[in-house]
Structure 1
Amino acid sequence: MTAETAETVERSSADLHAPTGGRSWRALIEPLAILAAGAAWLLYVWNSDLDSMEERSLGPRYVFGKVWQHIELTAVATLLVLLIAIPLGVVLSRRWARPATPAVLAIANIGQSAPAIGVLVLLAVTWGIGFWTAIVALVAYGVLPALRNTLVGLQQVDPALVDAGRGIGMSARSVLWRVEFPLAVPVILAGIRTTLVLMVGTATIASFISGGGLGDLVTTGISTQRTPVLLTGCVLVALLALLIDWLGGIATRLLAPKGLG
């Protein structure tokens, strides 16, 4: 072993045994910066010279209520998307169901190719306005990324590994859950992360049918020409999307099977 190689091995060993506290602290910089930016913006707005309408629309209880409604819209819609997309992706990855894949993907693509506001209006005319109508529109809009990533993740598994599993006597179900699914998890988690961020941004349109969320601040700011209200809604949506993306990244690292990175 050369001196340079020995030095490299020694450095790598030191890195492996180094305390993870520093890395943990660095991982918290992004969410702390996001929260600090949100708090700084709200303090700036609340200490500005606001008229009576702006004070009502930007009251702390009202703003935090809208933030919570936005989180509810995102969480419920994402959960329903995953309950639909992941099992459907698993089924479509099976050899006997592959002929149906193009048709299913075409249907799922309708939700994203059609304007989100158009889908929302059609659903409102059909089912009425409110929280659950907005949820249906969000689910229709968010199914495609999770479904496509589930399919891609399972289809990219090396067929030789599947054959090896079957060769040692594993059932088709065991091969799916013990071989294919663990190898596909990183790609599936990337799709879930994309869906989460997509839901945060799209949830703003729920305000058009009384679905709640931070979109209420945006529409109020536009309709009343109150720039502080409009900017507050936009800033909070952007910061919430960044925070959700960070949480998705953490979940991806924690849930991905060890040894696949």
Structure 2
Amino acid sequence: MEVFWFIAGNWASIVELALEHITIVGVAVGFAIVAGVPIGIAITQNQSIANAVLYIASIIVTIPSIALFGLMIPILSTIGHGIGWLPAVIAILLYSLLPIIRNTHTAITNVDPALREAARGMGMTSMQRLTRVEIPIAVPVIMAGVRTAVVMNIGVAAIAAYIGAGGLGVLISRGISQTDPRQLITGAIAVSLLAIFADWTLLKLQKLLTPSGLTH
């Protein structure tokens, strides 16, 4: 009951923190999509380069989030943004690249060669085949990578509160530092519900973007 009354009494603040959280993750994953999808498509042309890119992206993901945030501090301090929103966005962007690049590469690589030949036989250029055939077919797998990146980084963004980035992690960090289980539980529940809602929303978007012929 104490948690319920805490939420009721601090609803406006919780909503504000949730919007900060959504902004951090949304901007980071948005830039990761803009960078990751073209990279994933480009590396389909050379398997050796693909292996190297995916290996580097995998190494980044293995770095503990608090350590990656820490690495950003001295680097971005040179431009006056060692803590706060910017290092959080950059770190989450880096974490988002692996699932997006990997899924894009896998999806484009696994397009049925017969479909490519049919498109070539219709006189389509390489760019036309990519935009009209390969990418539409690859959308479900690419979107699955985006969903993975978003859900994973909603949790990572909670840790960004420790470098002053804001978001729902503020409730968790305050709950720990003040030994206040109400804030800790509220923050944990809010982050979990946000991840579930984001995954559900992106699943609906994935179905909307998937060509109708692939849904049957």
Same fold (TM over 0.5): yes
**RMSD of aligned C-alpha atoms?**
1.7
Equivalent runs, 1:217-256 vs 2, <5 Å: 217-256=171-210
| Aligned AA (1:187) | V
Following the alignment from structure 2 to structure 1, what is the Cα–Cα distance between the partners of residues 41 and 106?
10
| Aligned AA (1:207) | A
- Checking the alignment, whether the CA contact within 8 Å between 1:214 and 1:236 is kept in structure 2 is yes
Following the alignment from structure 1 to structure 2, what is the Cα–Cα distance between the partners of residues 117 and 81?
20
Alignment length (residue pairs)? 210
Task: Say if 2:105 is the partner of 1:151.
Answer: yes
Task: Say if 2:26 is the partner of 1:65.
Answer: no
Following the alignment from structure 1 to structure 2, what is the Cα–Cα distance between the partners of residues 249 and 118?
31
Deviations 1:20-62 (A, max 9, x none): xxxxxxxxxxxxxxxxxxxx99644356xxxxxxxxxx63332
Superposition deviation, residue 166 in structure 1: 1.4
Superposition deviation, residue 243 in structure 1: 0.6
Task: Say if 2:156 is the partner of 1:202.
Answer: yes
Task: Say if 2:73 is the partner of 1:129.
Answer: no
Superposition deviation, residue 91 in structure 1: 0.9
- Paired residue for 1:103, among 40, 52, 59? 52
Deviates more, 1:214-223 or 1:60-69: 60-69
Q: Which sections of structure 2, spanning at least 5 residues, go unmatched?
A: 77-81
Task: Say if 2:42 is the partner of 1:91.
Answer: yes
Task: Say if 2:34 is the partner of 1:80.
Answer: no
- Checking the alignment, whether the CA contact within 8 Å between 2:150 and 2:198 is kept in structure 1 is yes
Counterpart residue number, 1:20: none
Equivalent runs, 1:45-56 vs 2, <5 Å: 45-46=6-7
Larger Rg: 1
Deviations 1:102-125 (A, max 9, x none): 111111112211111111111123
Following the alignment from structure 2 to structure 1, what is the Cα–Cα distance between the partners of residues 207 and 64?
33
Superposition deviation, residue 164 in structure 1: 2.1
Superposition deviation, residue 189 in structure 1: 1.1
Deviations 1:157-182 (A, max 9, x none): 01121122212321111111111111
Deviations 1:87-138 (A, max 9, x none): 1111112x3x333111111111122111111111111232110101100110
Please give the TM-score of this superposition, normalised by the length of structure 2.
0.92
SS in 2 for 1:259: helix
Following the alignment from structure 1 to structure 2, what is the Cα–Cα distance between the partners of residues 125 and 100?
30
Following the alignment from structure 2 to structure 1, what is the Cα–Cα distance between the partners of residues 196 and 182?
21
SS in 2 for 1:218: helix
Poorly superposed stretches of 4+, deviation over 6 Å: none
Deviates more, 1:77-86 or 1:167-176: 167-176
Following the alignment from structure 1 to structure 2, what is the Cα–Cα distance between the partners of residues 171 and 132?
40
Alpha-carbon distance change, 226 to 101 in structure 1, aligned in 2, over 3 angstroms: same
| Aligned AA (1:203) | A
- Checking the alignment, whether the CA contact within 8 Å between 1:77 and 1:199 is kept in structure 2 is no
- Checking the alignment, whether the CA contact within 8 Å between 1:78 and 1:196 is kept in structure 2 is yes
Q: Which sections of structure 1, spanning at least 5 residues, go unmatched?
A: 1-39, 48-57
Following the alignment from structure 1 to structure 2, what is the Cα–Cα distance between the partners of residues 235 and 46?
11
Percent identity between the two aligned chains: 37
| Aligned AA (1:142) | S
Following the alignment from structure 2 to structure 1, what is the Cα–Cα distance between the partners of residues 139 and 10?
42
Task: Say if 2:182 is the partner of 1:216.
Answer: no
